[in-house]
Structure 1
Amino acid sequence: MPETEVSRSSVVSFNRRAVFSLSGTHFLNDLVTSGMVPALVVMYKHALHLNYTQSTLVVLVSYLTSSVMQPIFGTLTDKKPRVWLLGAGVFLAVLGLALTGFVHSLPWLLICIAISGLGSGAFHPEASRGTHLAAGSRRGMAQSIFQVGGNAGQAFGPLMIPLFLASTGLKGLLWFIPVAILALGLGAQITPWLNRRVAESAGRRRQITGENNIPGVIVLVIIIILRSWCQVGVVVFLPFYFHNLSIQTSELFNFVFMGAGALGTFIGGVVSDRIGQKRLMMLSMLIATPFALLFPHTHGVVAVLVLLFFGFSVLSSFAVTVVLMQMLLPKNIALASGLSIGFGVGAGGIGATFLGGISDLFGVPTVFAILSFLPLIGAVLSAFLPRAQK
């Protein structure tokens, strides 16, 4: 990263209010999109009498419109920032899911899911840009707080099914309409500050002398995809692996994995400010490897403990990859966020579909055997990442 940019960015102090507001909106966004949509597939299937192919369309549309579209939104907003997408995006993300409580046919369900996904895709690049501008010199901590909001939303999303929607049915989703209004207000209250910061950074951005490091971006994207396959694979196939447990218990196991990952995201971001992003990336993948290899051979309480440490370690690099991508793409901050957050998650969904075919052929244990080697491959690739300049 160019010295001139670091020295200028360090003049701006850490804006605690903006970072925590952005983290709160991230929580509400990912609660419904990444957390609840996959968990709601079973309820949609029974309520609308769908077959398995139709049911998987819900997840596919959600991933395509939210995750895969994020780099596109990032490219557009890098050319011309659209700060209003911060509040409007999270509003549409929550509202789209709430409206599925009304629908009675598959086409309308997919339209509402697409609205929710597009809102999420529009929200992430501007929200991550806002976090970048609010960070000052503490980029790792700022991104970790922002990403913890999203990871916590993903963790709590599946819990909404047994705790709330199991008794209300899909009609209970209508209660998320006030949540959508709350999300809009949370985003709108920092929009004036963000408008000022974007205007201030516009002139500074023209003076950036650093070039985008495309080879480094490619390596980092591959690492993010491997980590995402590991994360999504565990969440999707865990209920099938512990087939003797109830759905509620399986969702609690997922909560342990994602909750530990949220804690790891925060601690990893803070530690990376001290030891460096590349070193933290390598350590997180190396530490995750023995737990990944051990998990398929454990049961009971030991399996829960291994799952906890596995989630903590493998997801401790979540915020770090965003900061690294922004360093590798100094001229395209929003695109960096779209690639590191959106594209990676979308690729994880595609990987889960691929792993589903493997499970049909060879069984679920084979899937977990494959997942156990992904962190090790990621650790090896991390050695080829360029070291960030000071």
Structure 2
Amino acid sequence: MKKGQLGFLTGTHAVNDLYQGAIPAMLPFLMSERDYSYAAVSGLAFAASGVSSLFQPLFGVLSDRRPRTWLVPAGFITAALGVVAAGLSGNYPVTWLCVALAGIGIAAYHPPATSQARAAGGSSQKAMSIFSVGGTVGGAIAPSLVTLVIGSAGFDRSYLLAVPALVMAVLWGLKGPWMRSRGHVEAAPLVTGAAAKSSAHGARQADDWRAFGRLVAVIIGWSIPFVTVTSMVSLHAQRDLGQSSAAGAAALTSYTAAGAVGTLLGGWVGDRYGRMTSVRVGYLVALPALLGVAWAPTFPVLLVSAVAFGAAMFVPFAAQVTLAQDYLPHRPGTASGLTLGLAMAAGGLCSPAFGWLADSSGLRAAFYALLLVFVVPVALALRLPDRVLDTPDASSSERVEATNTTGAQ
């Protein structure tokens, strides 16, 4: 494990995903100050998550062709510009476009950074969980930062939200040569095409698109409740339970911060008991936790349920990323782009539908509908096959492909 590079990339992940978390944190302020409806703010959630996710596979393909480390700083700087511009804009169409721009920046960051983090961490689930938790921490900080800036000074001071990106850009400028000198080696695929062709058992190293398709289906089902709860839990606390905007921000912060704990826990469980254990435990705990979010009669119940749901949702996260890259060992950037991108687009695409349901029937009805949708990915996750690949320089006779008994068929 290359701890220095992994730590630095984890810091950039925190900054990048801070802007991903800033957008849902801004939604209650947009509703109160600009009179947006649930459908309107759900449309902004689509602009952030959906547009970002649609672009992410493209950046994944570009990262596979050759290392493009410059996409990492370009991504989080663009995300910051989009968020700041959305706060300063005065009408909905411009706000939507600015949020979409932020989403594209977030999309540009993830594939190259994830590939480099996997290479820096080797086969350790803990290493990937450390990188992932950087993004979760950034998302957890976002509601407090947005409340501090916009809640106290208004949207006119939105430019202050750009400070974290500017600081990290300076650090990247100082660390840039160090990153580039390692990027050509560490961003390379786990198994090169030449190695696969020279192996007498190259077929065993082939990309497993069928298993990868199953994983994409699971992540699509994961993204729908994740994006919807992220965009609505703060509103749920304020509109249904009569809490203040600060309490709503606290609920969102607790939800996203719990994801950091879940990510680290998932990495530990994956290394100790196998990554499929972390996948199954995460989904099985998340289902009743989501029921608690929908049912919550009081704010403390909502807070506990949101924390449990946020943690459980991220227990499988690192395992899903490494599993995707092992299903497609020749295309790690594409695997990251599709699983973190196109599959996540479903969450953004479906968010307006739940917003319309909330407008017509209330937020609780939207959460209960979300619960029914979530049953499908939970069932699929229990049947995912595992796949274990040796390091690229191992002989083909030492390469092992493992498939669990429930998923092999």
TM band (smaller chain): 0.7 to 0.9
Q: How does 1:338-357 map to 2 (within 5 A)?
A: 338-357=337-356
**TM-aligned CA deviation for residue 327 of structure 1:** 0.9
Q: Does 1:222 align with 2:217?
A: yes
In structure 2, distance between residues paired with 1:307 and 1:47? 26
Mapped pair 1:19 → 2:14? no
Contact residue 289 and residue 373 of structure 1 kept, 8 A? no
**C-alpha separation between the residues in 1 aligned to 2:75 and 2:111?**
10
Is structure 2 residue 169 aligned with structure 1 residue 184? yes
Aligned twin of 2:207: 212
Answering whether residue 120 of structure 2 is matched by residue 121 of structure 1, we say no
Distance 2:216 2:152 in 1: 41
Aligned to 1:7: none
Question: Which ranges of structure 2 fall in alignment gaps of 5 or more residues?
Answer: 197-201, 389-399, 401-409
8 A Cα contact 1:95 1:180, kept in partner: no
Match of 2:284 among 283, 286, 290: 286
Q: Report if aligned partners of 2:47, 2:348 keep a CA contact under 8 Å in 1.
A: no
> What is the distance in 1 between the residues matched to 2:46 and 2:270?
34
Given the superposition, is the C-alpha separation of residues 249 and 190 from structure 1 closer, same or farther in structure 2, using an over 3 Å criterion?
same
Residue 160 (structure 1) aligned to one of 145, 163, 166: 145
Q: Does 1:253 align with 2:251?
A: yes
Q: If the length of structure 1 is used for normalisation, what is the TM-score? A: 0.85
Gaps (5+ residues) in structure 1? 1-13
Q: Quick check: 1:21–1:187 contact (8 Å CA) kept in 2?
A: no
Over 3 Å counting, the alpha-carbon distance change for 1:57 and 1:369 in structure 2 is closer
The Cα offsets for residues 159-198 of structure 1, whole Å up to 9 and x where unpaired, read as 2233221121122222234433222233445543443444
Deviation, structure 1 residue 251:
2.1
Aligned to 1:141: 126
Change in CA separation of 1:284 and 1:51 when aligned onto 2, cut-off 3 Å:
closer
Q: How many residues align?
A: 375
Distance in structure 2 (CA, Å) of the matches to 1:98 and 1:212: 41
- Between the aligned partners of 2:346 and 2:366, the Cα distance in structure 1 is 17
Instruction: State whether structure 2 residue 30 is matched by structure 1 residue 35.
Output: no
Is the Cα contact below 8 Å between 2:28 and 2:245 reproduced in 1? Answer: no
Tell me the C-alpha RMSD between the 2 structures. Answer: 2.7
**Bigger shift: 253-262 or 349-358?**
349-358
Matched, 1:88 2:74: yes
1:265 deviation in Å? Answer: 0.9
Cα deviation, 1:315-371, whole Å, max 9, x if unaligned, reads 211222111111111111111111222234332122222222333454332322233
Cα 1:83/1:122, change in 2 over 3 Å: same
Q: Distance in 1 between matches of 2:249 and 2:184?
A: 44
Q: 1:108 to 1:135 in 2, by over 3 A?
A: same
Partner Cα distance (2:179, 2:214) in 1: 31
Aligned twin of 1:8: none
Amino acid at match of 1:165: I
Q: How far, CA to CA, are the matches of 2:116 and 2:366 in structure 1?
A: 38
Deviation at 1:52, TM superposition (A): 7.2
Is 1:169 the equivalent of 2:154? yes
SS at match of 1:340: helix
Question: Which stretch shifts more, 67-76 or 51-60?
Answer: 51-60
Aligned pairs for 1:247-326 within 5 A:
247-300=245-298, 301-326=300-325
TM-score scaled to structure 2, two decimals?
0.82
Structure 1 residues 80 and 100, CA gap change in structure 2 (3 angstroms): same
| Aligned equivalent of 2:229 | 234
* 1:44–1:223 distance in 2 versus 1, CA, 3 Å: same
Pairwise CA distance, 1:69: 0.5
Deviates more, 1:220-229 or 1:375-384: 375-384
Displacement over 6 Å in runs of 4+: 45-54
> Which letter does structure 1 place at the counterpart of 2:185?
E
Matched, 1:358 2:357: yes
Question: Quick one: distance in 2 between partners of 1:132 and 1:94?
Answer: 25
Residue identity in the other structure for 1:18: Q
Q: Give the superposition deviation at 1:54.
A: 6.3
User: Are 2:34 and 1:62 equivalent residues in the alignment?
Assistant: no
2 CA distance for matches of 1:145 and 1:351? 29
CA contact (8 A) 1:66 1:118 kept: yes
Deviates more, 1:247-256 or 1:93-102: 93-102
Letter aligned with residue 237 of structure 1 = M
Pick closer, same or farther for the CA change 1:336–1:194 going to 2, 3 Å. Answer: farther
Superposition deviation, residue 96 in structure 1: 3.0
The alpha-carbon deviation at position 49 of structure 1 amounts to: 7.6
Distance in 1 (alpha carbons) for counterparts of 2:27 and 2:291: 30
Q: Given the superposition, is the C-alpha separation of residues 21 and 212 from structure 1 closer, same or farther in structure 2, using an over 3 Å criterion?
A: same
CA distance in 1, matches of 2:254, 2:214: 30
Change (3 A) 1:258 1:86: same
Query: Which whole-Å CA distance do the structure 2 matches of 1:112 and 1:370 have between them?
Result: 30
